[in-house]
Amino acid sequence: MTKALRREGVTVGRDQVGRLMAALGIQGLVRGKAKRTTKADPSAVRAPDLVKRDFSATEPNRLWVMDFERHEALLNPAVMKGHRLQAVAAA
């Protein structure tokens, strides 16, 4: 709406157009990406557990689990200002 008005030679701000449209009950077209999610097929056969994971502990402090995470940006000099020639994190 703002672009159309400006093409017609009307000097108007985006916020003013928004307020006028709201007062008149007019909504603009909202374009966005369609949400796509993965939906599991309930009838599909599950993949076998090849690493034989067993997360059940027989008693406290007997089973420790960890997660690995890579942070490439920590070694990128463009991201870490002031740390150009030295590694911020060690592997």
Residue 85's pLDDT is what?
A: 55
| DSSP secondary structure, 19-42, as one string | HHHHHHT-------PPP------T
Cα gap 71→88, rounded to integer Å = 10
- Could you read off the pLDDT of 48-73 as tens digits, one per residue? 887 777 777 788 887 777 777 766 66
Residue 91's pLDDT is what?
A: 52
Q: Provide the whole-model pTM.
A: 0.32
Residue 73's pLDDT is what?
A: 60
Which tokens is 90 given? 């060690």
The residue ranking higher by pLDDT, 33 or 24, is 24
Residue 75's pLDDT is what?
A: 57
Cα diameter, the chain: 77
